[in-house]
Amino acid sequence: MTEREFGALYERAVAAADGGTPERAVELLEDLIVRRTVDVDVDDAQVIDLRMYLGRALWRCGLLEKGIVVLRSAWADAVRVTGPDTRLAFSCAGNLCRALAENEEFEEAIDIALDIYERRAEVFGELDNGTLNSLGHIAQICFRAGLKEQAVDFTAEQLDRRTEAFGENDERTETSRYNLEVMMSGLDFDEAALRAKLASYEDSHGEDSEAVLVLRAHIASGLERVGRLEDALAERTIIERLRMEVHGEVAIPTLAAAAKRLHLVLRLGDSRAVAQLQAVAITVARIAGPDHPLVSYCTDLDW
């Protein structure tokens, strides 16, 4: 097998391991390991990488115990061959802690995830992509273990650091924002607790940070659900002002915040909001196209 052929099969196997066909990835990776070990030892760094993906594919297709065994072995060999603080060793550990969490071995999973995050931050810095992925692993494991408050805090931290490192529109930042919204939706609407968390986030992240803005939106939604529309409107107004300060007046995040505020204004009986929503829709269509979902949000008012 030529290096080019190997590379092509490797890419197919990794895509399958991360996608919807991990069973196919197991077949491909086992074949690649056999082929590669004809020329190099089983603890060669490239083979360890293949073994890591094999372990990942195994746990993703439901063979958790077998996957964990493969990942433990790959991590141990990565540490021995390349050192404990290399990207390969960190990647093996990251996959292992997630597999352990899937197997509900939460204590060990969290211990590994915290240790890897701290050491990765020391070696590569707090804004390194891999470091921030490790922070996300901690959040995901905490959430799966039922530690929802801690999961929200870790995800909020990841969101702000990804915003700083990659920008607000980067796919990784968008993923963190979505994860934070999902995790917050799992919290009970305890306004006092959420207000305390908001004050803490404002101190640690800044009042115009993404984490604070997402949390304010969660509070506003909760207030709407319990019928406190005027209080919700006050929150939406603050969010719109902060979005405008951060993004400018003619930007999708600001326009989305304006639309949500205007929906509340309309629900409170002020029909002038209809014309204002139409103006927002026209602006969104001009800068993002008529198919942008915010356009229909502003114009579909049959409720």
Distance in angstroms (rounded) separating the CA atoms of residues 28 and 107:
32
Average pLDDT of every residue of the chain = 91
* 187 or 224, which is more confident: 224
What are 166-221's pLDDT values in tens digits?
A: 998 899 998 999 899 888 877 878 899 889 989 998 998 899 988 899 899 999 99
* 60 or 147, which is more confident: 147
> What is the average pLDDT across 50-77?
94
Distance in angstroms (rounded) separating the CA atoms of residues 33 and 111:
30
Domain coordinates in residue numbering, the chain: 1-82, 104-183
Residue 20 has pLDDT above 80, yes or no: no
Question: Can you give the pLDDT at residue 264?
Answer: 96
Question: Can you give the pLDDT at residue 6?
Answer: 80
Whether 1-82 shares its CATH topology with 104-183 is answered yes
Cα three-residue angle 130-132-134, rounded to 5 degrees: 70
- What is the assigned CATH class of domain 104-183? mainly alpha
User: Is the CATH number 1.25.40.10 carried by domain 1-82?
Assistant: yes
Tokens of 261: 């505020």
Region of poorest pLDDT, from 60-64, 76-80, 173-177 = 60-64
Tokens of 283: 């602006």
Q: Structure pTM?
A: 0.73
Residue 302 has pLDDT above 70, yes or no: no
What are 234-246's pLDDT values in tens digits?
A: 999 999 999 999 8
Residue 53 has pLDDT above 70, yes or no: yes
What are 130-139's pLDDT values in tens digits?
A: 999 999 999 9
Task: State the pLDDT confidence band at 109, using cuts at 50, 70 and 90.
Answer: very high
Spatial neighbors of 17 by CB under 8 A, at least 6 apart, are 25, 29, 53, 56, 57, 60
Locate tokens 């996608």: which residue? 19
Task: State the pLDDT confidence band at 1, using cuts at 50, 70 and 90.
Answer: low
Residue 303 has pLDDT above 60, yes or no: no
What are 271-300's pLDDT values in tens digits?
A: 999 999 999 999 999 988 898 889 999 998
Query: In the structure, how many helices (H) and strands (E) does the chain have?
Result: 15, 0
Distance in angstroms (rounded) separating the CA atoms of residues 92 and 96:
6
Q: Assess contact for 240 and 259: CB atoms under 8 A.
A: no
Question: Can you give the pLDDT at residue 152?
Answer: 93
Task: State the pLDDT confidence band at 44, using cuts at 50, 70 and 90.
Answer: confident
Percentage, residues of the chain above pLDDT 90? 68
